Chains A and B, each alone.
Chain A
Amino acid sequence: MEADHPGSTVELSFAASSTIVQQVAEGAPADVLALAGPGPLDHLPAELRRSEPVVFTTNSLSLAVPPDNPAGVTGVEDLTTEGLRLVVCQPQVPCGEATSALLTGLGIDPAVSSQERDARATITKVELGEADVGIVYRTDVAAAGDRVLGIDIPGAVNVTTGYPILAVSDHELAAAFIQEVLSGRGQQHLADAGFVAP
Chain B
Amino acid sequence: MTTVLPRRLPLLVPAAVGVGFLVLPLLALLLRADWPDLATHLRAPVVGQSLRLSALTTSVTMVVVWLVGTPLAWLLARSDHPLTSWARALITVPLVLPPVVGGVALLMTWGRRGVLGGWLDQTFGITVPFTTVAVVMAEIFVALPFYVIAVEGAMRGLDRRYDEIAATLGAGPVRTFLRVAVPLTLPGVAAGSALAWARALGEFGATITFAGSFPGRTQTAPLGVYAALEQDPEAALALSLVMLLLSVLVLGLLRSRWLR
A and B co-occur in one complex: yes
Binds A, one of B72-80, B106-114, B153-161, B188-196: B106-114
Known pairs A87-B212, A130-B130; list 10 more (Cβ under 8 Å).
A90-B227, A91-B231, A113-B129, A113-B214, A117-B208, A129-B111, A129-B112, A130-B107, A130-B113, A130-B129
Q: Is the CB of A128 within 8 A of B230?
A: no
Interchain CB contact under 8 A, B212 and A114: yes
Specify which chain B residues have a CB less than 8 angstroms from the CB of A130 in the assembled complex. Answer: 107, 111-113, 129-130
B residues engaging A (CB < 8 A)? 107, 111-113, 127, 129-130, 208, 211-215, 218-219, 226-228, 230-232
- The chain A residues found within 8 Å of chain B, CB to CB, are 18, 85, 87, 90-93, 112-117, 125, 128-130
Contact of A115 among B107, B129, B227, B228 (CB under 8 A): B227
A114-B214, A115-B213 known; A85-B130 Cβ under 8 A: yes
Chain A interface, DSSP helix/strand/loop, else mixed? loop
Give the complex CA separation of A1 and B141 in angstroms: 51
CA–CA, A18 and B113, complex, Å: 35
**Inter-chain contact B112/A112, CB cutoff 8 Å:** no
Q: Once bound together, how far apart are the Cα atoms of A113 and B130, in whole Å?
A: 6
Contacts A90-B227, A92-B227, A92-B231 given; does A114 touch B112 at CB 8 Å: no
B113 to chain A, nearest CB (A): 5
* Minimal beta-carbon separation of A34 from chain B (angstroms): 20
Contacts A85-B127, A85-B130, A130-B111 known; A125 to B213 CB distance under 8 Å?
A: no
Top 7 A-B residue pairs of the complex, sorted by shortest distance between their CB atoms:
A114-B212, A92-B230, A92-B231, A113-B130, A129-B113, A130-B129, A114-B130
| CA A78 to CA B151, docked complex, whole Å | 52
- Closest Cβ of chain B to A124, distance in Å, is 9
Residues of B with C-beta under 8 A to A112: 214
Contact B214 A93 (CB under 8 A): no
Across the two chains, which residue of chain A brings its CB closest to B215? A115
| Contact of A117 (CB < 8 Å), options: B127, B218, B227 | B227
Chain B contacts for A92, CB-based, 8 A: 227-228, 230-232
